[in-house]
Amino acid sequence: MPILAFNNLSVKSIGIYTHILVFLMFCLLVSCSKDEKNNTDAAVPSNLVVEVTIPNPDLGIINVQASANNTTQYSLHIGSADQPVETNKTGTFEYEFTEPGTFEIKVRAYGASGKYISVVKQVVIIDNDPVTITDGYITPMAHAGYNLVWNDEFDGNALNTQFWSYETGGGGWGNNELQFYRQENTTVDGGLLTIEARKESYQGRNYTSSRLITRNKKTFTYGRVDIRALLPEGQGIWPALWMLGNNITTVGWPACGEIDIMEMVGGSGREKQVHGTLHWDFNGHTYTGGTYTKPSGIFADEYHVFTIIWDENAIKWLVNDLQFHVIDITAAHMTEFHAPQFFIFNVAVGGNWPGSPNDATVFPQQMKVDYIRVFQKN
């Protein structure tokens, strides 16, 4: 009997205990789920609000205030950089841009879980002190022993197509360049020719610019050439003022010869230098040249005059009438430099020499030319 009673009681008890256990388990599951949900909510940030103020756009300083729920820290990022420029727990930041332009900033809010949410904003910094046409070096309209045989002062409001033609297209231009050259990136106004490099998608390219030539219109053999220009700046920006042999379509390059009056390769530490170079065919492509380095500042600070003095014996390179390089061209294998050459003005973006733009490169970039003057001996 006791055993039967025990068994009956045990069976009944087991049934009761089972219901209780199931109920307790249900309660525990509900409780755990609720706690886990609360823990998850507390670990993930939400409702991120970012306010950006620019007390003075000319100074380049911005103030950023971020706020969010469930946040342990905030970080400020410039451009697409994953590395923050500053991290703190308050969401209050101050950052100074050293160049004018349009910039992207990103604020991240992190939760205890390590997860984050982000907000992206754009800010515009104005150049309060633009370089004017009167800033920098100027050369005269006459040089002793020379006559002025051609010049373009870029007066009026359009490019003089009696002198210049547009070369258009992408394809890298032999240097893996990134831009598409188009007419729309050239303007003439206020006595200046402006070639503008832009970051924009066009014909499968991510950048646009312009390339101007005087081929079959204005060609010269020997003389003094003065070009007054204000150069652009930035990693991946490659302005050039140069010449090619007018017979390039028949003999090709480098057999036509190339005279680089000025090339500047944008990027940190390189914008204070310009290069003057010759390229020609001597059992294959060969070249030589020299470099001028400014004692202070960069070539985007003011206008400079880039000059070559070219005669039967040599080509000399000058910046602001200071000679920095000379090459003897009397060798028999340098006949390319005793034949007519035409001018090319362009601003390339990217390529083998400068490399690609980065997050610090500000667009648009402009090369402005005040004049080109060609003198030949009396």
Residue type (1 letter), 125: I
* CB-CB contact of 220 with 244 (8 Å): no
Spatial separation of the C-alpha atoms in residues 342 and 215, rounded to whole Å: 5
Residue type (1 letter), 94: E
Contacts of 55-59 spanning 24+ positions with Cβ under 8 A:
57/124, 57/125, 57/126, 57/128, 58/126, 58/127, 58/128, 58/129, 59/96, 59/128
Q: Which residues lie below 8 Å from residue 337, measured CB to CB, with a gap of 6+?
A: 257, 259, 278, 280, 310, 315, 329
Other Cβ atoms closer than 10 A to 250: 9
One of 177, 233, 258, 336 is an active-site residue; which one? Answer: 258
User: Is position 302 annotated as part of the catalytic site?
Assistant: no
Exposed e or buried b for every residue in 316-333, given b needs 16+ CB within 10 A? bbbbbeeeebebebeeee
Residue type (1 letter), 116: Y
Spatial separation of the C-alpha atoms in residues 44 and 68, rounded to whole Å: 10
One of 196, 233, 263, 271 is an active-site residue; which one? Answer: 263
Spatial separation of the C-alpha atoms in residues 344 and 308, rounded to whole Å: 14
Exposed, middle or buried, 25 (CB in 10 Å: 0-12/13-18/19+)? exposed
Spatial separation of the C-alpha atoms in residues 156 and 134, rounded to whole Å: 18
User: Is position 263 annotated as part of the catalytic site?
Assistant: yes
Residue ranges of the alpha helices (H) in the chain?
Answer: 2-43, 248-251
Tell the residue number behind the tokens 């390179």, with chain if given.
317
Active site (catalytic) residues? 258, 263
